Chains A and B, each alone.
Chain A
């Protein structure tokens, strides 16, 4: 009966592994597309983190144990020269300290090497709903790969192409072509050193309008948007409260800023409140001086968990403790909310309540780079003192134009309801795909509305088999394991897209079902959460206008 405290989707509190979905009504969304009111957002917030079944956990540990033992045996064989080393290893250069310690690459050498074919698969087409994967061959068990020259046409459930803007034809591509003719490729200058053009200003303005904030600044790389701008916001004497599952770029940015960093448990608002309270009451360690400022760093949608930040709670805490909020919407901008404006839109909140709205163009907009939006004074400060504005070149023109065109479609500025269709389709796809997977008995993580669907596989060998079997059957997907996830929580991840049609989803689902049966992946012991895609008004024409 332990139902309390589970609603916020905190995995650590699911002692009995029950999902909170049973609490929710099937109908979480009103017909008019407006999201539920702020007060009862929890009713529609269905997130599951089913506990790892004991037997599977034992099996998983056993799997790793065997791999490690065999790895050590083979390392031993390598040191005494029985087994040949096929990778390029560091030549012995007397006097130099080796660049790598042998234990550092144990994992790479003995575990990752066996399964390398599941990552870095090169493709030879646009990363749209379907793609051509280039076949690779290895004649030395994964040490080296060579391209065979063959292509395999598969469905793409691995790219972050949420709104289906990864296209090589259509109005966006046409506009980009014109922009390249008019502006060229690159600006070769930084924002403050004559790399700032009217196209950059247009983008800044449009992004601000899209987000509903006063102003915005754009950076050519999403990763760098975090790592180069955070140091301009906080510094020594400030505290960063960071979700434990935050992206590497946020961690790097926090570290470069020189502020003190504390992490709180993933999406756990109780833990966040405790740490906030502690920070305000006790001040800095040793000196006990009060902190200069406290910055809460959260992501909108967590890419590995498929969970959504409990933003209303974060804002409540921010107000109570006078902290600032840095929201990274890399995976949610465009993909979440009735207007595609991210988690802020999803919860029906005012974007002005968030101090720093950060996001990327790589995913939903099919471009590259990132932005930061917020109050005019903050953005002005970033314009004069962010690392990105001074020291590195501005966004290439082709990328800017892609963002401009796709964003205008999302805002309905092109005069069609194409943008709305894409949002609806993505939302429907997400719910439909998740519901079907739950019904099949798989363990899924995350929120029913998150377009990233992590499906737990646990056992390392099964992870790899899943990836290979799916690709064979025409489904390209991503698998992730240790160290990107906790050691016993290896998973496959499906990225849904508005470009996926129902037929494609059905086909993908039947492949997953088949492979899941072969590999015994239907671990779930819990009743599936109750939700439905039926209340989303789906535009029946699945092919977009463009």
Chain B
């Protein structure tokens, strides 16, 4: 605001100031006068900095003409190996339990269709019936008439399925956890994160701008060490500690290793050190536990112990999008501050009902989860027998990483070998994929692997056949021991 005009009588504060000024001891005045003089000196007599050399227009033009930017992207030719692999692996038609690649029908051991929901006719029929009512797109974000009743139904269904108070629906799996983390954790907050987490969590951490403390993958001692360090730091600066939120971020079932997080221990640490726990369950939701609720059910732990569970609907559920669930006071916050929720169009309604239908199918027939686990164990056992390869991950995990037993010094050579195995397998009727990474961007780059995913619908016969074919492919490609 503008300065106070002179006709306004001085306030009492001014009077008080003058009184205080008059009553102050003389050395006080002396120091103040000195200070004022010093300010004057700084203002008017300080050494003039050499004026920044001003460039003439001509010089500027020369600089502009001189500057050569880097190309926007490196020139990637059409025959780049990754592109070639992508083209070679292009699927024709439905990516269900079987896929057609080229002219070959293969058993699908690559896409994350754990329960066979992709390709399930009941789910498809439900999607089509919604199409006939709502069309495809929702044409708006949730705030602006993009909320359809089916979105509310799906949120309700998910909350009920997970036994939590509330669920919030996102329109893309990747954006779910990547938006949820920065909605709570801001600059100055601290996140303890497992160093084996998947990329979407890593991006969420970057977007939060919080301080990240990485602990070794599934190493609870290392986590406790960091937590202890933090509590000591907090004791030194209790004022700061009072406003510093602390979070642990883990994955339920790690995409990159196929491990399950030690949830009971994490919960113990959560209460001991008063840190909130966020868990991403994209690969365990609809997979682990007797009814598919994920890691909490697997360990028989109440979901309330975890502050936020996020999961994608793109894997076991076979639809699109993702969700977060937890207590109402936690989840509701995202409706105004989850970036991917507020600023994105809502999930196409037909995908929402497809997800509802998948959940219903899981509820109706929890047997498929038993089948899945049995299949996982069988595949695990079979793959472990392959010479020259090792299988990483829990036996009951539907994601298995098949790595080379002897790693070469050069990553690319290993990737080539693995790709050859995958190609060989594909030609013989098994579709496999390498786990792909953006090597320069990953926090901790996992060793190259073939990521095998297991479908609950596989029969014993198919599992045996698949394992044999993979084994053959490995033998054909791997150098024979002399």
Contacts and interface: CB of A to CB of B under 8 A. Distances in A.
A360 B86 CA distance: 24
Contact of B354 (A134, A185, A361, A390): A185
B260 interface: no
Interface stretch (A26-34, A40-48, A249-257, A335-343): A249-257
B55 to A, nearest CB: 6
Interface string B426-459: 0000010111111001000000000100000000
Contact of B436 (A127, A192, A366): A192
A221 B10 CA distance: 61
B246 A99 contact: no
Contact of B172 (A169, A220, A377): A220
A195 interface: yes
Interface string A474-489: 0010100000000000
B276 interface: yes
Nearest to B199: A391
Interface residues of B, number: 118
A58 interface: no
Q: Which residue of A93, A277, A367 has the most chain B CB atoms within 10 A of its CB atom?
A: A367
Given A247-B343, A277-B60, A186 B144 contact: no
B139 A97 contact: no
A387 B198 CA distance: 12
A120 B142 contact: yes
A193 B93 contact: no
Interface size class of A (residues with CB under 8 A): 35 or more
A392 interface: yes
Given A158-B140, A390-B438, A293 B70 contact: yes
Contacts of B83: 380, 383-384
Contact of B136 (A97, A108, A399): A399
A393 interface: yes
B333 interface: yes
A292 interface: yes
B95 A193 contact: no
B203 A387 contact: yes
B210 interface: no
Interface string A233-252: 10000000000000111001
B328 interface: yes
B75 A248 contact: no
B145 A180 contact: no
A355 B72 contact: yes
Contacts of B262: none
B64 A281 contact: yes
Given A127-B145, A188-B314, A198-B90, A232 B73 contact: yes
Nearest to B145: A158
B194 interface: no
A172 B329 CA distance: 41
B118 interface: yes
A196 B198 CA distance: 21
B207 interface: yes
A170 to B, nearest CB: 9
Nearest to B198: A391
Nearest to A234: B72
B427 to A, nearest CB: 15
A140 interface: no
Q: Which residue of B70, B145, B347 has the most chain A CB atoms within 10 A of its CB atom?
A: B145
B174 interface: yes
Interface string B284-314: 0000000000000000000000000000101
Interface stretch (B125-133, B369-377, B410-418): B125-133
A241 to B, nearest CB: 13
Contacts of A76: none
Nearest to B347: A368
Interface stretch (A15-23, A320-328, A519-527): A320-328
B312 to A, nearest CB: 8
Contact of B135 (A98, A166, A188, A221): A166
A294 B71 CA distance: 10
A126 interface: yes
Contact of A185 (B70, B127, B133): B127
Contacts of B74: 377, 381
Interface string B112-139: 1100011110011001100111111111
A376 B136 CA distance: 30
Contacts of A97: 241-246, 274
B329 A186 contact: no
B149 A156 contact: no
B318 interface: yes
A323 B119 CA distance: 46
B325 interface: no
Nearest to A122: B147
Contacts of B68: 322
B136 A186 contact: no
Given A185-B354, A186-B320, A368 B348 contact: yes
Interface string B89-106: 111111110010000000
A185 B145 contact: no
A4 interface: no
Given A180-B127, A387-B438, A233 B72 contact: yes
A399 to B, nearest CB: 6
A396 B75 contact: no
A356 B71 CA distance: 13
Interface in A239-281: 247-249, 252, 255-256, 277, 280-281
14 contacts: A160-B139, A166-B136, A166-B139, A173-B132, A173-B135, A183-B93, A184-B95, A188-B314, A189-B95, A322-B67, A368-B138, A377-B77, A387-B203, A396-B351
Interface of B: 55, 60, 63-64, 67-78, 80, 82-83, 85-86, 89-96, 99, 108, 110-113, 117-120, 123-124, 127-128, 131-140, 142-149, 151-152, 171-175, 178, 184, 198-200, 203, 206-207, 241-246, 274, 276, 312, 314-315, 318-320, 327-330, 332-333, 335-336, 339-340, 342-345, 347-348, 350-351, 354, 431, 433-438, 441, 451
| 10 smallest beta-carbon distances between A and B, as pairs | A221-B172, A189-B111, A380-B76, A392-B174, A223-B344, A95-B274, A381-B73, A194-B110, A402-B136, A362-B345
Given A193-B433, A281-B55, A367-B137, 16 more contacts: A96-B274, A108-B336, A123-B145, A127-B139, A160-B345, A168-B133, A195-B95, A221-B172, A224-B172, A252-B207, A277-B60, A277-B64, A292-B69, A384-B82, A393-B314, A398-B351
